[in-house]
């Protein structure tokens, strides 16, 4: 298993067929991530976008079975690197028409989520906060921990009342980060 800072070795392309075409060079996964982030507007992208950009930039001939290892290394570095900021994804209500201010009108999971988002600043927050508020306000309606948490995410993503367009966590290269 590769360690987080161990280098992957993409092949150097050389059409002349000379000895140098067999050479390999090393680039750490951290440098690959930073290089990929620099190619996105605002130096910001989701984990999947970063992986795709790295594959495009460094692995023209494919990963040859290393994709899971690369994906794991990327996840570790994104969660622990101090020069990469984590911007949590958020959910909100699409329209004021969907606001519910009275808890007595929050009888279904969807209406409870509408109630929660209607009563927080900017009517938008991340999934962890939504789950905490759901538990705080409606724990008496929860039967199974695993089911209700998954149901919240599913409801937020699939119901027309909710805006999930900003729900994916993004990673941003800090302005003065060393490359």
Quick check: 126 pLDDT over 70? yes
Residue 171 is classified by DSSP as E
Structure tokens given for 23: 């050479």
Share of the chain above pLDDT 90, in %: 56
Q: Is the pTM of this model over 0.95?
A: no
Name the pLDDT band for 143 (thresholds 50, 70, 90): confident
What is the arithmetic mean of pLDDT over 25-30?
77
CB of 33 closer than 8 Å to CB of 77: yes
What is the arithmetic mean of pLDDT over 36-61?
90
What is the arithmetic mean of pLDDT over 113-129?
94
């Amino acid at each position: 298993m590769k360690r987080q800072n161990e280098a992957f070795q993409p092949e150097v392309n050389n059409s002349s067929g000379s000895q140098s075409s067999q050479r390999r060079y090393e680039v750490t996964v951290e440098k690959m991530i930073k290089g990929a982030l620099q190619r996105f507007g605002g130096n910001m992208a989701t984990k999947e976008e970063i992986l795709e950009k790295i594959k495009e930039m460094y692995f023209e001939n494919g990963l040859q079975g290393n994709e899971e290892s690369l994906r794991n290394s990327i996840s570790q570095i994104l969660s622990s690197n101090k020069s990469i900021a984590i911007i949590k994804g958020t959910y909100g209500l699409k329209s004021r028409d969907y606001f519910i201010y009275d808890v007595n009108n929050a009888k279904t999971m969807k209406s409870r989520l509408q109630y929660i988002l209607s009563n927080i600043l900017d009517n938008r927050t991340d999934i962890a906060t939504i789950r905490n508020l759901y538990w705080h306000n409606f724990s008496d309606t929860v039967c199974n921990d695993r089911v209700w948490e998954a149901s919240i995410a599913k409801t937020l993503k699939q119901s027309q009342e909710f805006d999930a367009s900003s729900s994916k966590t993004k990673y941003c290269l800090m302005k003065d980060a060393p490359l």
